[in-house]
C-alpha cells in the first residue's frame, strides 16, 4: 500500500508537530526514502529551533512600566490591581504551602505540581516589576542571606551563578500561611532574569530529581533535596535553564561553594 | 459592573505581545508603541472578550489589525516612505551575552528573518516560535489557511537560501 504523496502542507505540519500520529508515521517513512525531502525538512526544523532560541530570549527582557500600566489601566482601578496582585501572590503561595503534602504525592506520581506553577507565577510577577523586583538588593547580600536564614529557619545561601553569566539582583520573601518561600533573582548581561525559589518541606520528604515544566512561557526546573523544594524559573530554553539549574544545585548541595557574603 | 479583562493574564501576555510586535516592526521602540496601542484597543473592545477563550489569540488578532491599519494610514500620509526600509535593523540583534552557546547559525537566522517580507515572517514566527496551529494563524491574520501555507513555504525556502545549508553539527563559538 502506498502512502499519500507528501505535499508542502504535510511537510510543514510535520515540521511544526501539527500532524496526526498516523500521518506523521507516513511522512517519516517518505523522509527515510527521499534524501532531498529529508534535507528540506531538516533545514526547516533547524530554523524552528534557532528562531525559538533567538526569540525566546526576548521574552525575558524587562517590561517597560508604561506597558504594565496600559495592561492594567481598567479605568481608575490601576492601584487596586497592584494591591490585588500582591494579595493574589500571597494567596497562591499560601495555598501551595497548605497543599504541600499533596504536592509531594503528585511529584512522586510524576504529575505537574502546583509548586512549579506557583514558582512560575511569582517569577512572572516579580521579574517584570520595573521598580521593585526585589526587597533586598544584592549590594546587601549578607543582610539578605541572614534575613532568609532567620525567616526560613534553616541556613540560606545565594548560589554564585556568574560562571553561567548571571549576577544576583537580590531577593525577597514570599509570605504563606505556614512556611515562607525564599526568592532570589538573577540577571545576565542581556537583562534576562531568573528566579530561584525554595521552601522547607516536612522532615523526611523524599528527594526528587530535576523535573521540568513550562507554564505561561516560563520554564521551571524543580527538585527536592534535603526536605526542601527548589524551583529555578526563567524564559531561557530548556537546555540553558538546565545548565543553570545544575550549577545552582551543585552549590546548594555543597554550600561552601556558594557566596554567603561579599 | 462593566466587562473587564483578566489583569494578571494581560500582564503575563505582555512579553509575547512585545515579541510579536518586534517581529512586525523590526525595531523594539516602535514595537512597544504597537503593544501599547494594542492594549489600549483591547480595553476599548473588552466587551467582545469572551472569558475562557484564548487570550493570546484574541490579543494577537487585535495587534495584527492595529498594525495593518497603522500601515495603511502611514502609507496614505507619506507615500514616499517605504515602511520596509528599516527592516533587518537593530531589532534582530541576538542577545550575545545571553549564553556561551551563541552560534553562527543563530545570528545568521535572526538577521535573515528580518529581511523577509513582513507577511511571510509573521506567518513563520507564529508557526515556528509561537507554535500556533495554522487555523489560528489564519484567524489572527484574517486570511485563508491556504495563504498561510503558501507564505510559510516561501518564508522557509527563502530563509534556507539566505542562511545556506545548515551544518547538522552546529558550531559552538567561544
pLDDT tens, residue order, chain A (262 aa): 455 567 889 999 999 999 999 999 999 999 999 999 999 999 999 999 999 988 998 888 888 888 888 888 754 344 444 445 555 554 454 444 444 444 443 333 333 357 788 888 889 888 888 778 898 899 889 999 998 988 888 888 899 999 889 999 999 998 754 678 999 999 998 888 999 999 888 777 777 778 888 887 889 988 888 778 899 999 888 888 988 998 888 888 776 655 443 3
Identify the DSSP state of A128: T
Whether B168 contacts A42, CB under 8 Å: yes
Q: Which residues contact residue B153 at a Cβ distance below 8 angstroms, ignoring those fewer than 6 apart?
A: A8, A12
Question: Which candidate from A9, A51, A63 shows the least CB-CB separation from B113?
Answer: A51
- Residue B65 and residue A150: Cα distance in Å, rounded? 53
Task: Report the pLDDT value the prediction gives residue B84, as an integer from 0 to 100.
Answer: 45
Mutation target among A53, A88, A162, A165 for the B interface, most CBs of B within 10 A: A53
C-alpha span between A94 and A98 (Å, rounded): 6
Interaxial angle between packed helices B7-25 and B28-44, expressed in degrees from 0 to 180 and rounded to the nearest 10: 140
Longest dimension (CA), chain A: 72
Q: Which residues contact B75 (CB under 8 A, 6 or more apart)?
A: B83
Which chain B residues touch A55 with a CB distance below 8 Å? 19, 23, 110, 125, 129
Report CB contact under 8 Å: B16, A66. no
Calculate how close chain A gets to B79, using CA atoms only, in Å: 30
Closest residue in chain B to residue A240, using alpha carbons only: B99
Per-residue model confidence as pLDDT tens digits over B54-113: 899 999 999 999 999 988 887 776 554 444 444 445 566 655 544 444 567 788 888 899
pLDDT surpassing 80 at residue B42:
yes
What lies within 8 Å, CB to CB, of B66 at 6+ separation is: B34, B37, B38, B41
A140 closest CA partner among A101, A172, A188: A172
| Burial (0-12, 13-18, 19+ Cβ within 10 Å), B100 | middle
pLDDT of residue B77: 64
Q: Which residue has the cell 526587597?
A: A135
pLDDT at B132 over 50: yes
Amino acid at each position: 500500500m502506498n502512502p499519500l504523496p507528501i505535499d508542502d502542507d504535510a511537510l510543514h505540519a510535520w515540521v511544526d508537530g501539527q500532524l496526526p500520529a498516523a500521518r506523521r508515521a507516513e511522512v517519516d517513512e517518505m523522509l527515510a526514502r527521499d534524501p532531498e525531502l529529508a534535507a528540506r525538512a531538516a533545514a526547516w526544523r533547524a530554523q524552528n529551533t534557532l528562531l525559538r532560541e533567538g526569540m525566546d530570549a526576548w521574552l525575558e527582557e524587562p517590561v517597560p512600566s508604561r506597558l504594565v500600566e496600559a495592561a492594567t489601566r481598567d479605568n481608575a482601578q490601576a492601584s487596586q490591581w497592584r494591591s490585588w496582585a500582591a494579595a493574589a501572590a500571597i494567596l497562591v503561595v499560601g495555598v501551595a504551602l497548605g497543599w504541600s503534602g499533596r504536592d509531594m504525592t503528585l511529584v512522586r506520581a510524576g504529575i505537574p505540581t502546583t509548586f512549579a506553577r506557583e514558582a512560575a507565577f511569582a517569577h512572572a510577577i516579580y521579574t517584570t516589576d520595573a521598580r521593585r523586583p526585589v526587597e533586598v538588593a544584592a549590594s546587601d547580600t549578607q543582610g539578605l542571606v541572614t534575613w532568609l536564614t532567620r525567616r526560613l529557619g534553616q541556613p540560606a545561601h545565594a548560589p554564585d551563578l556568574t560562571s553561567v553569566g548571571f549576577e544576583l539582583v537580590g531577593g525577597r520573601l514570599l509570605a504563606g500561611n505556614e512556611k515562607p518561600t525564599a526568592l532570589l533573582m538573577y540577571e545576565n548581561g542581556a537583562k534576562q532574569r531568573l528566579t530561584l525559589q525554595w521552601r522547607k518541606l516536612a522532615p523526611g520528604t523524599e528527594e526528587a530529581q530535576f523535573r521540568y515544566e513550562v507554564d505561561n512561557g516560563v520554564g521551571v526546573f524543580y527538585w527536592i533535596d534535603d526536605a526542601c523544594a527548589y524551583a529555578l524559573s526563567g524564559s531561557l530554553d530548556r537546555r540553558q535553564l538546565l545548565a543553570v539549574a545544575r550549577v545552582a544545585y551543585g552549590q546548594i548541595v555543597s554550600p561552601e561553594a556558594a557566596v554567603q557574603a561579599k | 459592573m462593566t466587562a473587564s479583562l483578566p489583569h494578571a493574564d494581560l500582564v503575563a501576555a505582555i512579553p509575547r505581545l512585545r515579541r510579536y510586535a518586534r517581529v512586525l516592526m523590526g525595531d523594539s521602540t516602535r514595537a512597544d508603541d504597537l503593544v501599547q496601542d494594542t492594549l489600549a484597543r483591547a480595553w476599548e473592545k473588552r466587551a467582545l472578550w469572551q472569558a475562557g477563550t484564548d487570550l493570546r489569540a484574541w490579543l494577537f488578532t487585535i495587534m495584527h489589525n492595529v498594525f495593518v491599519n497603522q500601515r495603511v494610514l502611514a502609507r496614505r500620509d507619506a507615500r514616499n516612505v517605504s515602511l520596509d526600509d528599516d527592516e533587518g535593523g537593530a531589532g534582530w540583534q541576538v542577545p550575545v551575552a545571553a549564553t556561551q552557546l551563541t552560534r553562527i547559525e543563530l545570528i545568521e537566522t535572526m538577521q535573515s528573518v528580518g529581511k523577509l517580507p513582513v507577511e511571510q515572517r509573521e506567518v513563520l514566527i507564529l508557526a515556528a516560535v509561537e507554535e500556533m496551529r495554522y487555523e489560528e494563524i489564519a484567524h489572527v491574520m484574517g486570511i485563508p489557511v491556504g495563504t498561510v501555507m503558501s507564505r510559510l513555504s516561501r518564508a522557509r525556502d527563502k530563509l534556507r537560501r539566505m542562511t545556506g545549508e545548515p551544518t547538522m553539527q552546529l558550531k559552538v563559538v567561544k
